[in-house]
Chain A
Amino acid sequence: MIQYTVRRMLLAIPVLLAILIVVFLLARAVPGDPCKSILGEKATAETCERFTKIHGLDKPVPVQLAIYMSNMLRGDFGDSIRFKRPVLLMLAERLPMTIELGMAAMTLALLVGIPAGILSAVRRNSAIDVVTMFGANIGVSLPVFFLGLLLIYLFAVVLRDTPFSLPPSGRLSPGITPTPFFVYYELAVEPNTGKFYLYQFIAKLYILNSILTSDWVVLKDTLRHLILPSIALATIPLAIIARMTRSSMLEILGLDYIRTAKAKGLPQRMVIMKHSFRNALLPIVTIAGLQMAAILGGAVLTETIFSLPGVGLSVYEAITARDFPVIQGFVLVIAFIYVSFNLIVDLSYAILDPRIRLD
């Protein structure tokens, strides 16, 4: 197991390297002059020359790549051309938003999708089953951007003056500012050090930060702001997970050992949860892992619609502004998260099914 884990992690390195090279080349293949698109159309040839020199854009692409890679190994992702700030710091500030959103969406998809699928399978062809599967079919077909706007319309326009109204945009309501935990506990930290980035990262995880500082107002506000975006983002994965759970459960429920379990008088709950669900879990975990791609990709749309300052929105803005260091750093981190998730899914097979020997 450990040997397999190590080998899989080593095998992920060339994949990440290939991703890095692809992203690097793609970022440079974007047509147009980066100087003009960042400094504006009026930039003179002289300022442009200085600009390309400062950012090393005058060197051949392979040299640029080599410089970038050697810097990255030292933990330096470069500075944003547009914001003149370290990419790593920007990541520390914006990744937390996407992590909260993604985790909320994934939790929602699993917590609703799996029970719905089990119920559908157990009550096969009942009204519950028909309604659930009809709902799942619609859920798969709803575009994230449309559902997001629909939710905004429903909860911020139609229900505006009711107790059910929910905020349509942003992470926090105006006027509410969270106290970073390192300020709260008066921890000394020097700016622009690795520790500072880490502290920033944790402080921007508003849910965690507000628990650390026992600030329940911020916690409630953060959660309220997360509801609509996570529903919008969770719907497609939820529907897919529900369908997979149903078909996987149906397959198991038809097997002989389930009949035996029922025949010897085991309580239904035990037959369903312990005998069936446990064994139906493998395909569900596989499909749930694949949904990470949908969530990371959908984050771009969700963050755009709900004006959330996360990784998805940042990548989109960086691509539009041709901010190379930001594109590279952010896309690499997203790909890293995705690759790690796939690895976790593969490893979990061995835990879920002891017959699978990973080596």
Chain B
Amino acid sequence: MISQSSESIASVVQIPDDNIADIGNYKSNSLWRLTLRRLFRQRSAQVGMVMLGLLVFTAVFAPIIAPYDPARVIEDANGRIKVRQAPCIHLLGCPADQSQHIFGTDGNGRDQFSRILYGARVSLRIGVTVITAAVLIGTVMGAIAGYAGGWLDNLLMRGTDIILAFPFFLLAIALVFVLGPSLENAMVAIAIVSIPTYARVVRATVLSLRETDYVEASRALGASSWRILFGRILPNALPPLIVLATLGIATAILDTAALSFLGLGAQEPTAEWGTMLGRERNQIFSAPHLVIIPGIAISITVLAFNLLGDGLRDALDPRLVHGKGSK
């Protein structure tokens, strides 16, 4: 019956041909399109995206760019291991008979440059994996808490309260000790302490929209709770989640590197920047490049995500319309 009536409507309402052509050319001003346009116009976001692009490029092509295997111990002509050699760059006057090590060699005689390149893989993977997990779990927790309400809401939110009552990093250290020091466990610890932020944002969105008219309308049309929650309410939580997640990746990389620095994260021989820096930290007096270069690598990666996150925040903020933003 229903399909019959809609057919009959289509035959009655004639849509002019030229209108259809218009629709083909029409560029919708959807939130995402607007955001992208604004994002590309922003200085800080541009810089962040370029830096991030370079990092991803480095990570993907590390095996091609890197002159050495990051785990290979390098020996000189006499078979001695080249421990903590100063950088040797042929273009800058390093004798051609010596092998080139742009960033020198580390305490185990491995090529520092190759290890830095491979480190980009590790750090990007850490940031993205940790935050993806935290956002997914946080979203589900927040959505359930906000939509169900009652004791479930209370239970979940008191749980996040307890996590938030600790200084973030201290709790992460304690968790890693319980789980045992390893890169995977450091990532789990950082993910756990990150969850409350996302859970709260999602819960707040769900609470504010649960009783709105359009949700009510959906319910009246017979949409299931699942469909209302994931199809109608949660898309509204996406803009703040994207901003928080981008900035969260920066924090996650920073904190995992800090755990690795303390010896609680990535273990040898993984080429992780925090571990590399931590193991050579006493060489700050004798071979400072082994400390400074991994440090700069971490800072650049964190900076890239911070800049992109800031740009996204400004681009997604409806109060800052068309270039009247803060930057």
Contacts and interface: CB of A to CB of B under 8 A. Distances in A.
Interface of A: 15, 18-19, 22-23, 26, 29-31, 137-138, 140-146, 149-150, 152-153, 156-157, 247, 250, 292-294, 296-298, 300-301, 304-305, 315-316, 319-320, 327, 331, 334-335, 338-339
B44 A137 contact: yes
Nearest to A292: B167
B215 interface: no
A152 B286 CA distance: 12
10 contacts: A137-B310, A138-B299, A141-B254, A141-B306, A142-B299, A143-B295, A149-B277, A150-B292, A157-B288, A294-B168
A142, A297, A334, A339: most-surrounded residue (chain B CB, <10 A): A297
Interface string B285-322: 10010011011001110110011001000000000000
A297 B299 contact: no
B168 A15 contact: no
B117 interface: no
Contacts of B169: 294, 297-298, 300-301
Contacts of A29: 178
A150 to B, nearest CB: 7
A294 B295 CA distance: 19
A140 B173 contact: no
Contacts of B250: 140-141
Contact of A247 (B294, B303, B326): B326
Contact of B299 (A22, A30, A141, A338): A141
Nearest to A145: B261
Interface string B166-180: 111110011101101
Contact of B326 (A250, A293, A301): A250
Contacts of B168: 293-294, 297
B1 interface: no
A15 B285 contact: no
B118 to A, nearest CB: 19
A315 B170 contact: yes
Nearest to B286: A157
A146 B295 contact: yes
B162 A19 contact: yes
A338 B169 CA distance: 13
Given A22-B162, A146-B299, A315-B170, A153 B284 contact: yes
Interface of B: 44, 158, 161-162, 165-170, 173-175, 177-178, 180, 250, 254, 257-258, 261-262, 274, 277-278, 281, 284-285, 288, 291-292, 294-295, 298-300, 302-303, 306-307, 310, 326
Contacts of B175: 26
Given A137-B303, A153-B292, 14 more contacts: A15-B161, A26-B175, A26-B178, A31-B180, A137-B44, A140-B250, A145-B261, A145-B277, A146-B277, A146-B291, A150-B291, A293-B168, A297-B167, A300-B169
Given A29-B178, A143-B254, A338-B166, A137 B307 contact: yes
A140 B166 contact: no
Nearest to A14: B158
A297 to B, nearest CB: 3
A297 B262 CA distance: 13
Nearest to A246: B326
B177, B180, B254, B292: most-surrounded residue (chain A CB, <10 A): B177
A180 B154 CA distance: 50
Contacts of B298: 143, 146
Given A143-B299, A319-B177, A305 B291 contact: no
B167 A296 contact: yes
B308 to A, nearest CB: 11
Nearest to B159: A18
B276 to A, nearest CB: 11
B303 A338 contact: no
A295 to B, nearest CB: 8
A327 B178 CA distance: 13
Contacts of A304: 262
Contact of A300 (B166, B173, B278): B173
A335 B166 contact: yes
B258 A301 contact: yes
B288 A296 contact: no
Contact of B278 (A141, A145, A335, A339): A145
Contacts of A146: 277, 291, 294-295, 298-299
Given A145-B258, A247-B326, A335-B165, A138 B303 contact: yes
A18 B180 CA distance: 23
Given A23-B174, A304-B262, A339 B165 contact: yes
B292 A331 contact: no
B170 A157 contact: no
Nearest to A342: B165
B258 A338 contact: no
A152 B292 CA distance: 12
Leading 9 A-B pairs by shortest Cβ distance: A297-B169, A146-B295, A141-B303, A141-B302, A296-B167, A297-B167, A293-B167, A29-B178, A145-B261
B204 to A, nearest CB: 16
Nearest to B260: A145
A301 B264 CA distance: 12
B292 A305 contact: no
Nearest to B181: A320
Nearest to B261: A145
Contacts of B257: 143
